[in-house]
Amino acid sequence: MAGERVRWGILATGGIAASFTADLLDLPDAEVVAVASRSEASAKAFADRFGIGRAYGDWASLAADQDVDVVYVATPHSAHREAAGLCLEAGRAVLCEKAFTLNVREAEELVALARERGLFLMEAMWMYCNPMIRRLKALVDDGAIGEVRTVQADFGLAGPFPRSHRLRDPAQGGGATLDLGVYPVSFAHLLLGEPAAVTASAELSPEGVDLQTGMLLSWESGARALLHCAINSGTGVTASVTGSAGRIDVPGGFFHPERFVLHRDGREPQEFAADPVDGPRDSYRHEAREVMSRLRAGATESALVPLEGTLAVMRTLDAVRSAVGVRYPGER
Ligand X SMILES: NC(=O)c1ccc[n+]([C@@H]2O[C@H](COP(=O)([O-])OP(=O)(O)OC[C@H]3O[C@@H](n4cnc5c(N)ncnc54)[C@H](OP(=O)(O)O)[C@@H]3O)[C@@H](O)[C@H]2O)c1
Per CB under 6 A, does 170 bind ligand X?
no
Q: What is the DSSP letter of 234?
A: -
Residue 182, judged by CB atoms within 10 A of its CB (0-12, 13-18, 19+), counts as: buried
Active site residue 98: yes
How many angstroms separate the most distant Cα atoms in the chain? Answer: 62
Per CB under 6 A, does 177 bind ligand X?
no
Residue of 32, 102, 122, 124 interacting with ligand X (CB under 6 A): 124
Q: How far is the CB of 283 from ligand X (least distance, A)?
A: 11
Q: How far is the CB of 109 from ligand X (least distance, A)?
A: 17
Q: How far is the CB of 13 from ligand X (least distance, A)?
A: 3
Q: DSSP string of 3-71? A: TSPEEEEEE--SHHHHHHHHHHTT-TTEEEEEEE-SSHHHHHHHHHHHT-SEEESSHHHHHH-TT-SEE
Per CB under 6 A, does 12 bind ligand X?
yes
Residue of 5, 27, 42, 58 interacting with ligand X (CB under 6 A): 42
Per CB under 6 A, does 329 bind ligand X?
no
Residue 222 backbone class (left: φ over 0; alpha: ψ -120 to 50; beta: rest): left
By beta-carbon proximity to ligand X, the closer residue of 14 and 306 is 14
Q: Is the dihedral of CA 224, 124, 213, 102 positive or negative?
A: negative
Residue of 5, 7, 16, 64 interacting with ligand X (CB under 6 A): 16
Per CB under 6 A, does 172 bind ligand X?
yes
Binding residues for ligand X, rule: CB under 6 A, are 12-17, 37-39, 42, 74-77, 79, 97-98, 124, 126, 166, 172, 179
